[in-house]
């Protein structure tokens, strides 16, 4: 298995959408630039959703136009065909779709059941394939381990949704622990199962740290062969369906763990901590990674050998 792990930064979208303070387009752009400056090559920068429903995502079209770094692979979330049209018009060519595994979650979130949500995803994927410019579509299977309304989700259901999305032509399926209900044993069980069916290259994982098991779940998925993970700078985020939930696992914690385990990410931790500081400054609510204080103290000692961090 490859020793290289890709970190997809989701703080500017998944992290910011649930914050009380709404950042301006320029503030969001400054955060994305700081993240990219640390060597992060993949960033979810915003969402083409109703600004009335998600005020924090207003101005995503303007934000996309400000991104000039050709080395940055940026993506945006789209909920439906209208979102696709707006994203495509803006110039975005890496688009993320979401379908929850549970009917209740889909009905409360997007007012349609799972089957209707899946049909919408497939329609968008087919439309993307007809465009003159190449469009990369990734799909998230939300509540892949646990739904706040229906409890633990059966693996066969996740298998079915994943298979349909792959057959439709997505480039990646991201298994999302939307409310942070997964544990390492269940994570390894599901990912071993899916990897045995589809291989590891088309699969990615997205973990929240609600129950302080984000890093443990990433480790479990690593042992299943997964080499791509979402993370959120300074632990930004949360879930409106899981009151009090913390955000995605913090990017700085994930990168530290991977480096200490010998994996390569291409990310500079010192610069990543600067981006984390900026996220905390801009939002006033980002908690920062759990290892952030230790990391800063360690780096400030100017050790010659920093290869393991």
How confident is the model at residue 140, as a pLDDT?
98
- Position 188 in a domain: yes
Q: Which of 41-50, 173-182, 241-250 has the lowest mean pLDDT?
A: 241-250
How confident is the model at residue 196, as a pLDDT?
98
Residue 302 has pLDDT above 80, yes or no: no
How many whole angstroms separate alpha carbon 177 and alpha carbon 3? 24
Up-side HSE of residue 215: CA atoms within 13 Å toward CB? 16
Residue 272 has pLDDT above 90, yes or no: yes
The candidate with the shortest Cα–Cα distance to 255, out of 226, 224, 289, is 289
* Token pair of 120 as six digits: 């919408």
- Position 294 in a domain: yes
> Which of the four pLDDT bands, split at 50, 70 and 90, describes residue 206?
very high
Pair 261, 309: CB distance under 8 Å: no
CATH number at residue 101: 3.20.20.70
- Position 308 in a domain: no
How many whole angstroms separate alpha carbon 213 and alpha carbon 152? 16
How many whole angstroms separate alpha carbon 135 and alpha carbon 170? 10
> Which of the four pLDDT bands, split at 50, 70 and 90, describes residue 70?
confident
Domain span holding position 58: 6-300
Pair 241, 198: CB distance under 8 Å: no
Average predicted confidence (pLDDT) for the chain: 94
Assess whether 239 carries a catalytic annotation: yes
> Which of the four pLDDT bands, split at 50, 70 and 90, describes residue 239?
confident
Residue 305 has pLDDT above 60, yes or no: no
What value does the mean pLDDT take over residues 121-135? 96
- Position 307 in a domain: no
- Which phi and psi (to 5°) does residue 176 adopt? -110, 125
How many whole angstroms separate alpha carbon 297 and alpha carbon 273? 12
Residue 2 has pLDDT above 90, yes or no: no
Burial of 115-150, coded b for 16+ CB within 10 Å and e otherwise, reads eebbebbbebbeebeeeeeebebbbbbbbbbbbbee
- Position 233 in a domain: yes
- Position 240 in a domain: yes
- Position 306 in a domain: no
- Position 1 in a domain: no
Cα→Cα distances 62→91, 100, 207, Å: 10, 29, 29
- Please write the tens of the pLDDT for every residue from 144-177: 999 999 999 999 999 999 999 999 999 999 999 9
Q: What is the pTM of this model?
A: 0.95
How many whole angstroms separate alpha carbon 150 and alpha carbon 4? 36
- Can you name the residues that pair with 94 across neighbouring β-strands? 136
- Please write the tens of the pLDDT for every residue from 9-37: 999 999 999 888 999 999 999 999 999 99
User: Of residues 121, 147, 205, 239, which has the active-site annotation?
Assistant: 239
How many whole angstroms separate alpha carbon 188 and alpha carbon 193? 8
Question: How many domains, in total, are found in the chain?
Answer: 1
> Which of the four pLDDT bands, split at 50, 70 and 90, describes residue 247?
confident
Question: Which range has highest mean pLDDT (49-53, 129-133, 155-159, 290-294)?
Answer: 155-159
């Amino acid at each position: 298995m490859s020793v290289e792990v890709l970190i997809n930064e989701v703080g500017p979208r998944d992290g910011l959408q649930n914050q009380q303070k709404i950042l301006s387009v320029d503030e969001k752009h400054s955060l994305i630039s700081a993240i990219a400056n640390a060597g992060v090559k993949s960033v979810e920068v915003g969402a083409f959703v109703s600004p009335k429903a998600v005020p924090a995502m207003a101005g995503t079209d303007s934000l996309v136009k400000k991104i000039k770094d050709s080395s940055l692979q940026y993506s945006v979330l789209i909920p439906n065909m209208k979102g696709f049209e707006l994203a495509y018009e803006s110039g975005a060519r890496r688009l993320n779709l979401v379908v929850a595994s549970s009917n209740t979650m889909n009905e409360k979130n997007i007012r349609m059941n799972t089957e209707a949500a899946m049909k919408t995803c497939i329609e968008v994927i087919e439309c993307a394939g007809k465009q003159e410019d190449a469009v990369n579509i990734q799909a998230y299977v939300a509540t892949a381990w646990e739904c706040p309304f229906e409890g633990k989700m059966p693996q066969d259901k996740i298998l079915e949704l994943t298979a349909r999305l792959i057959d439709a032509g997505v480039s990646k399926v991201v298994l999302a622990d939307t409310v942070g209900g997964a544990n390492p044993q269940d994570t390894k069980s599901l990912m071993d199962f899916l990897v045995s069916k589809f291989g590891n290259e088309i699969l990615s994982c997205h973990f929240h740290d609600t129950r302080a098991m984000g890093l443990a779940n990433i480790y479990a998925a690593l042992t299943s062969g997964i080499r791509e993970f979402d993370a959120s700078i300074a632990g930004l985020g949360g879930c409106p369906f899981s009151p009090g939930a913390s955000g995605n696992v913090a990017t700085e914690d994930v990168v530290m763990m991977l480096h200490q385990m010998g994996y390569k990410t291409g990310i500079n931790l010192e610069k990543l901590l600067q981006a984390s500081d900026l996220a905390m400054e801009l939002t006033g609510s980002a908690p920062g990674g759990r290892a952030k204080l230790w990391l800063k103290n360690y780096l400030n000692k100017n050790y010659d050998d920093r290869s393991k961090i």
